[in-house]
């Protein structure tokens, strides 16, 4: 009897690779060498930390700065980098460095991992992604050192590297203090560098290369910058700018007279705090203002910003800016009784609209079920629970001080939510990409229904 070879689909490989990274990280973090006091960490806490690191979420049950040794922090940093770039990308980069030949199966896997439409230039794309990431993170670390080295001495170098990688990967984990970046809320350098890293990581690599392409082209011909961008880049850039500045303006208005956040600040300081809050909700997870001190209006706004997240093929989570743009365009097209969905003078495919609906629906279901389950095992307010579950689903990392008080069941719920929030939409997108349309010879009859 011939043995059948087990073949895993791209979706299964990505799901298993993320799970494997999480489990290896959890085992390492549970060792005594990983904890600050030399004692073994309870496995559920190690698993939570490994999951939040690999899924670049940032929710932590214990303060990272006080709970983990340098070895433990190094494990967390590696998991963040793996989670930000993706396990498949890391593995492919290692193969390239070792001059290992990549077969068509490896290339297809990479193509699906990045959700790209072509195999052309795939190896060069991976090289550019890894190199670009290292360059940006290195520049961020050097800029952070101008603040952290004078304050912490040589330890400031490690803090700078850790914070830069965490910010670029939109992880939001830091080893500075137990209250995130609240101690640097009005530090211009920390604010500017962190926001820049968050935006660069979250805007997506496709936009990077598109902008670089136009900069190169401008040396030999006239370039109309925005008009010559691809449709994807136009949507990602415009949606990102609108969400950041509209979000900041609304937070500024909602928090202007809040004595717990900005009431005693100058106008410029209020702008600085509002802008950072709007940027960090794009799945970054750093906080310069305690989230539990925000007004209800600001908190609800942040729920929406967190759920949307960053842009595709980047380090951010959420349903993505392009997804939201497609959904709104499709809705307006239906309202205007137009057959086609259009953006910036281009017609969108029906597959893009269907994928946007599916990804949003899946993320909403994950968030809703998680909210119900967490509400059943905790006595926290509905707003605090929703903030936690949306943050976990969209891999943000912001919390209204609930994470540290979760019981074991609550931790397990958030662990599963973070994992599904990270790999669920990716898997669904791959299913759309690789799925083959089934041609039915016999089709069921069509019947009209009332919608809305």
pLDDT digits (tens, 9 = 90+) for 9-30: 666 777 788 889 999 999 999 9
CA distance 129 to 131: 6
Q: Give how far Cα 32 sits from Cα of 72, 79, 176, Å.
A: 9, 18, 22
Residue 442 lies in a domain: no
- Asked, for residue 374, whether it belongs to a domain, the answer is yes
Residue 291 included in any domain:
yes
Nearest by Cα to 182 from 255, 58, 64, 291: 291
How many C-beta neighbours within 10 Å does residue 98 have?
Answer: 7
Number of structural domains in the chain: 1
Alpha-carbon gap, residue 121 to 96, rounded angstroms: 14
What does the alpha-carbon distance between residue 252 and residue 352 come to, in Å, rounded to a whole number? Answer: 35
Residue 94 pLDDT: 60
Residue among 404, 335, 395, 337 nearest 367 (CA): 395
Output the pLDDT for position 300: 96
pLDDT at 206: 85
33 closest CA partner among 7, 64, 71: 71
Burial class from Cβ neighbours inside 10 Å (0-12, 13-18, 19+) for residue 448 reads exposed
End-to-end Cα separation, the chain, in angstroms: 56
| Stretch 279-298: mean pLDDT | 93
Share of the chain above pLDDT 90, in %: 59
Q: Which of 184, 173, 185 is nearest to 62 (CA)?
A: 173
pLDDT band for position 438 (cuts 50, 70, 90): very low
Radius of gyration of the chain (CA): 22
Phi/psi at 48 (nearest 5 deg)? -60, -45
Query: Domain range spanning residue 342?
Result: 10-431
CB neighbours of residue 38 within 10 Å: 9
The answer as to whether 441 is a domain residue is: no
Higher pLDDT, 292 or 107: 292
Which whole number is the average pLDDT over 84-104?
Answer: 62
- At 191 the pLDDT is 95
SS3 for 255?
Answer: helix
Q: Does residue 364 lie in a domain region?
A: yes
Q: Is residue 387 a part of any domain in this protein? A: yes
**Residue 346 tokens, joined:** 């281009």
- pLDDT of 255: 96
Asked if residue 443 is part of any domain, the answer here is no
* Residue 451 pLDDT exceeds 80: no
Q: Give a yes or no: residue 438 inside a domain.
A: no
């Amino acid at each position: 009897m011939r043995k059948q070879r087990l073949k895993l689909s791209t979706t299964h490989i990505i799901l298993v690779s993320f799970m494997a990274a999480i489990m290896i990280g959890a085992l390492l973090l549970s060792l005594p060498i990983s904890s600050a006091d030399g004692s073994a960490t309870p496995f559920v806490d190690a698993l939570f930390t490994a999951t939040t690191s690999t899924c670049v979420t940032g929710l932590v049950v214990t303060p990272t700065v006080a709970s983990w040794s340098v070895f433990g922090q190094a494990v967390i940093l590696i998991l963040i980098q793996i989670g930000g770039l993706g396990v498949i990308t890391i593995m492919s980069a290692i193969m390239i460095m070792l001059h290992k030949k990549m077969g068509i199966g490896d290339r297809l896997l990479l193509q699906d991992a990045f959700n790209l439409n072509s195999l052309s230039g795939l190896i060069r794309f991976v090289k550019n992604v890894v190199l670009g990431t290292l360059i940006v993170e290195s520049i961020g670390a050097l800029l952070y050192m101008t603040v952290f080295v004078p304050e912490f001495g040589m330890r400031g170098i490690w803090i700078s590297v850790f914070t830069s990688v965490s910010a670029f990967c939109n992880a939001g984990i830091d080893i500075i203090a137990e209250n995130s970046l609240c101690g640097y809320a009005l530090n211009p350098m920390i604010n500017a560098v962190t926001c820049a890293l968050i935006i660069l990581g979250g805007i997506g690599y496709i936009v990077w290369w598109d902008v670089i392409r136009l900069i190169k082209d401008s040396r030999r011909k006239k370039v109309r910058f925005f008009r010559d961008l691809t449709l994807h880049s136009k949507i990602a850039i415009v949606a990102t700018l609108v969400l950041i500045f509209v979000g900041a303006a609304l937070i500024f208005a909602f928090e202007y007279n809040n004595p717990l956040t900005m009431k005693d600040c100058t106008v410029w300081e209020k702008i600085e705090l509002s802008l950072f809050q709007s940027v960090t909700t794009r799945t970054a997870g750093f906080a310069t203002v305690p989230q539990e001190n925000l007004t209800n209006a600001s908190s609800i706004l942040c729920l929406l910003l967190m759920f949307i997240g960053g842009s595709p093929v980047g380090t951010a989570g959420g349903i993505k800016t392009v997804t939201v743009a497609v959904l709104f365009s499709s809705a307006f097209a239906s309202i205007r009784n137009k057959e086609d969905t259009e953006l910036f003078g281009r017609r969108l495919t029906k597959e893009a609209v269907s994928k946007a609906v599916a990804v949003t629906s899946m993320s909403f279901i994950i968030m809703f079920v998680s909210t119900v389950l967490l509400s059943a095992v905790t006595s926290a307010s509905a707003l605090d629970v929703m903030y936690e579950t949306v943050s976990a689903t969209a891999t943000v990392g912001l919390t209204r001080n609930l994470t540290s008080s979760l019981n074991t069941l609550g931790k397990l719920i958030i662990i599963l939510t973070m994992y599904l929030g990270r790999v669920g939409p990716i898997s669904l997108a791959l299913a759309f990409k690789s799925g083959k349309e089934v041609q039915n010879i016999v089709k069921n009859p069509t019947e009209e229904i009332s919608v809305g």
